[in-house]
Amino acid sequence: MEGDKLKYKRVLLKLSGEVLAGTRTFGIDFDAVSKICREILEVARHGIQIAMVVGGGNIFRGAQAVSMGMDRPQADYMGMLATVINALALQDNLERLGLPTRVQTAVVMQEIAEPFIRRRALRHLEKGRVVIFAAGTGSPYFSTDTAASLRAAEIGADCLLKATKVDGIYDKDPMKYDDARKLNFITYLEALSKQLKVMDATAFSLCMENSIPIIVFDILQEGNLKKLLIDGEPIGTLVSSKRGNDGYGCG
């Protein structure tokens, strides 16, 4: 699909730290980062505006630190700094591919990145630049999934893409149960009532209130981002308000 035929013209891509770790258990797998950035470049060339929110669990896990006795706000601030490291790694790779990129942080660190300013972010997107939002919301007690939903609403994203290592949402844990069934579509309310762990309740609620569809998909499967955004294939699981006429759903 090209131009006016594109279903989603501005998207918010949420990348977890786990995805950036690739085959590692800790740190950044630069092969995985390079692969993801090439996928982003491919869809950006078709005129899709791309913003991103990145997690930091591959570098620091706040929940684990809290379980060991660390103060929750302190752990969350450390997690925010980890997301900035990941954002800079993505920016470097994207710009080496020739795609202009800006990092905006919710915690001011002007020597490293721009502060988050909504109107400036919109201007970057309109100019074809990728914008990476780092440091979560800037406040403790909020996940990067919630930050992704918030930023998606603020920039008027047509869709929130939740990039994971699995190919969608299942009715039960596919790693534990052989009979787990993949769901092609689920409503926001079903996701909330089932307490699905793919995103937290605040993130689901923000998207529901602002009618932003969520697509959960496997970013590490080569070509998936293009299939989803350019070819219009029903990749992954759609979370939305109601099922569409095509059997896959609509926002």
- pLDDT at 208 exceeding the cut of 70: yes
CATH number at residue 183: 3.40.1160.10
Q: What is the pLDDT of residues 90-109, one digit of tens each?
A: 999 999 999 999 999 999 99
* pLDDT band at residue 44 using 50, 70 and 90 as cut-offs: very high
Torsion of the alpha carbons at 137, 144, 127 and 159, rounded to the nearest 10: -120
**Domain for residue 246, yes or no?**
no
**Domain for residue 66, yes or no?**
yes
Q: Is 187 annotated as a binding residue?
A: no
- Bridge partners (DSSP) of residue 133 are 53, 104
* pLDDT band at residue 175 using 50, 70 and 90 as cut-offs: confident
Q: What angle do CA 47, 229, 144 make, to 5 degrees?
A: 95
Unique residue bearing structure tokens 């790694």: 89
Q: Is 14 annotated as a binding residue?
A: yes
**Domain for residue 80, yes or no?**
yes
Q: Is 173 annotated as a binding residue?
A: yes
Number of H-type helices and E-type strands within the chain: 9, 11
Q: Over range 38-66, report the average pLDDT.
A: 95
- pLDDT at 246 exceeding the cut of 60: no
- pLDDT at 2 exceeding the cut of 60: no
Q: Is 142 annotated as a binding residue?
A: yes
Q: Which residue has the higher pLDDT, 141 or 63?
A: 141
**Domain for residue 250, yes or no?**
no
Structural domain span for residue 138: 3-240
**SS3 state at 44:** helix
Top-confidence range, 24-28, 192-196, 239-243: 24-28
Total tally of structural domains belonging to the chain: 1
**Domain for residue 185, yes or no?**
yes
**Domain for residue 245, yes or no?**
no
Q: Is 15 annotated as a binding residue?
A: yes
**Domain for residue 117, yes or no?**
yes
| Burial environment of residue 37 by CB neighbours within 10 A (0 to 12, 13 to 18, 19 or more) | buried
Q: State how far the Cα of 235 lies from the Cα of 34, in Å rounded to an integer.
A: 21
Report pLDDT for 245.
Answer: 38
Q: Is 177 annotated as a binding residue?
A: no
- pLDDT at 248 exceeding the cut of 80: no
**Domain for residue 62, yes or no?**
yes
Radius of gyration of the chain measured on its C-alpha atoms: 17
